[in-house]
Amino acid sequence: MELQNGETDNETHQSGVTTSMELEPYLPLTPMDSSSKRRRKKSFVWDYFTVQTAEDGCIKAYCNQCNKAFAYINGSKLAGTSHLKRHIALGICPVSRERNQSNGTHTTFAKRNTANPPRKRYRATPTFASFTFDQNRCNHDIAIMIIMHEYPLYMVEQPGFIDFVKNLQPQFNMMSYTTVQEECTSIYLREKESLLNFVCGIPSRISLSIDVWTSSDTTCYVFLKGHFIDNNWNSHCRILNVIRIPSLKDDALILAVVTCLSNWQLSGRVYALTVDQSFLSDTIAMNFRNFLVANDPNFLNGQLLVGNCLAQVLCQLAQNALSLTSEVVWKIRESVKYVKTSSVREEKFLELKNQLKVPSNKELSIDNQTKWDTTFHMLVAACELKEVFSCLDASDPDYDLNMSVDDWKVAETLCTYLKYFFSVANILTSPCYPTANVFFLEVSKIQTELTNASMSQDPLVRDLTKPLKDKFDKYWNECCLVLALAVVMDPRFKLKLVEFIFSKIFVQNAEEWIRIVDYGLHDLFLQFTMETLTLSETFGEDGNIGISITELQDEEHQGEIFLTTGDGLSDFDVYISEISEGQQTKSELDRYLEEELSPKSQEFDVLSWWRLNKYRYPTLAKMACDILSMPVSTVTRDSVFDTEIRRMDSYRRSLPSATLEALICTRDWLQYGSLQSSSSTETSDTTVKSEF
């Protein structure tokens, strides 16, 4: 291939034919070109190289700075320009490298290469050409990012974030603080409307829980959550309001609840309310009960309305137990610190463990004193490794924390009872909020163990557990009725488990307590039955239901009488009729309680069972729906073990109340996804309010 005053470019088409490229200002066309036009060179390496013909007749490229020669064209073979680019861009050229080091800058070539990348790079990503920039969509995505990850609103005005976004998309017009605040509020209002329609469309009542956060001043923040079960028997827990109040004095909490009832159209629909009663004085608690009874006077004269937070009760018990044994706990904590804060001492500790062949798989860890479960795990691990600590005491003269046999006995006794508290609290950390039926057995275990231990002959056990029992008795006496009603709604246990547990806890007074639960259960069922009858009468007046089920059954029996034949079994027919009538007079509740218990299984789903049996027990199913959704705790699952009062940080305190509520509520709602799948029901469930 003949070349004149220039070279061919390094680009090769799929056909294998190379195109001519000018190396001097213009290059005459080669014979293989079919065009009569001259082509201007496009590769920018020629700003740094000069093409010359060498003595051997080959065409070479010479660096303008170091004058090094590079192969370019040898006969009909084209070497290309990639190696020329690397010579300059990667700093291989010694002259260019020294010049850049002295000036502290990069090569001009590198900058130009970044600003004008080779055509091949554009050809590798052809999809960007069809990308359509959408400013509104980007605004929405930034607002979602800020909400979900709790970033500060002012981040959109920070120079680093602005530069980052501009480099990603130069067309993006960065949002201001006001704009992103308005976008977040707009998302909140849309999500709230969707959730409100969802809540208004379910037939069950709503139970509320109240969590209170404090701040560095006297201001408090009330988190009101709604707990309910939808038409498909899916359990839900949503933050409904975050309300700033000046203090917990007077009736500020009640006003917060009134606001929630108004915002979410819940007047007359509140079934139960759970609150950390350590925040409430006796007067405020009584005012709470009176207000809620006045709002909805149906349910057992308000006995179910105000419940205590189980997580807070367990936290207080754990803190009290740790306080009673604080000296031993301190020794163990310091011993663990001694081992864990030095790699040499930790290796020596592990060597001793292996020599003693201690079977424990526990690993020592320093506890976080703001979470009592970490202290519990630290104590358990230390107790299992107590032999190693004893040997460490003898082999390491710097270790002077002498743990006696009595100290280890105190620690092991403490772990025994902390384990009961931990087992129950750990249920509250599950990803799905647990239904109320699972807590009766677990809470009753604590009551039983503390009762027995408080009467122990061992003074160590008795002195540790007696104060704990006195504190837990208050919670048990207030909540055992609620928890008992919930476990009756579990077909694996029903009333039988209540009878069994009460016989162990109350002993001589067991029958009286069982009778209270039975009376409360039937009274509650009667109230639900009256609601169902009222609803049925309403449908009857509309003409949708013109005849009752009882009337249909009477007509069927009349037809049977007319069809009776003279076979001499008329007395038997009367006998069978009497038995059938006796069975029909039994209520749904009685029939449910008399049926055999469902098999016990860890995989058992009580909500799925009621979804499948709601047509057998329509009234009882509605009752179970409300009872099972009652919350036993007010805190989030990541705060179950916290020993410190939750505080609002300074940034959030600076936000307007409406903005703060919008950010917190929307983040909670978005993590559960769309409500459409939960709200959609089968065709047979379209009249769920009358059947369920």
pLDDT at 555 over 90: no
What pLDDT, in 10s, does the model give residues 607-649? 999 999 999 999 999 999 999 999 999 999 999 999 998 999 9
Task: Report d(CA 97, CA 106) in Å as an integer.
Answer: 9
Task: Report d(CA 502, CA 508) in Å as an integer.
Answer: 10
Cα–Cα distances in Å, from 595 out to 491, 494, 515, 589, 592? 9, 10, 20, 10, 5
Q: Residue 162 burial by CB count (10 A; 0-12/13-18/19+): exposed, middle or buried?
A: middle
Highest mean pLDDT among 18-32, 80-94, 249-263, 445-459: 445-459
| SS3 track for 610-646 | HHHHCCCCHHHHHHHHHHHCCCCCCCCHHHCCECCCC
Q: What percent of the chain has pLDDT over 70?
A: 75
What pLDDT, in 10s, does the model give residues 359-397? 988 899 999 999 999 999 999 999 999 999 988 878 888
Which residues contact residue 380 at a Cβ distance below 8 angstroms, ignoring those fewer than 6 apart? 362, 415, 419
H-helix or E-strand containing 283? helix 282-295
Task: Report d(CA 526, CA 531) in Å as an integer.
Answer: 9
Q: Where are the domains of the chain?
A: 46-95, 134-307+646-674, 310-514
Average pLDDT, the chain: 80
pLDDT at 679 over 70: no
Judge whether 560 and 581 are in contact, CB under 8 Å.
no
DSSP letter (8 states) at residue 299: S
What pLDDT, in 10s, does the model give residues 298-338? 544 455 566 789 999 999 999 999 999 999 999 999 999 99
* Least confident among 144-148, 430-434, 511-515, 550-554: 550-554
Residue 139: phi and psi, rounded to 5, are -60, -45
Quick one: pLDDT at residue 570?
A: 57
What's the mean pLDDT in 266-280? 84
How does residue 548 score in pLDDT terms, banded at 50, 70 and 90?
A: very low
Query: What's the token pair of residue 684?
Result: 């047979």
pLDDT at 551 over 60: no
The residue to which tokens 């729906």 are assigned: 625
What pLDDT, in 10s, does the model give residues 180-193? 999 999 999 999 99
How does residue 567 score in pLDDT terms, banded at 50, 70 and 90?
A: low
Task: Report d(CA 482, CA 59) in Å as an integer.
Answer: 95
Cα–Cα distances in Å, from 263 out to 80, 305, 317? 72, 20, 36
How does residue 159 score in pLDDT terms, banded at 50, 70 and 90?
A: very high
DSSP letter (8 states) at residue 61: E
Query: What's the token pair of residue 373?
Result: 């479960």
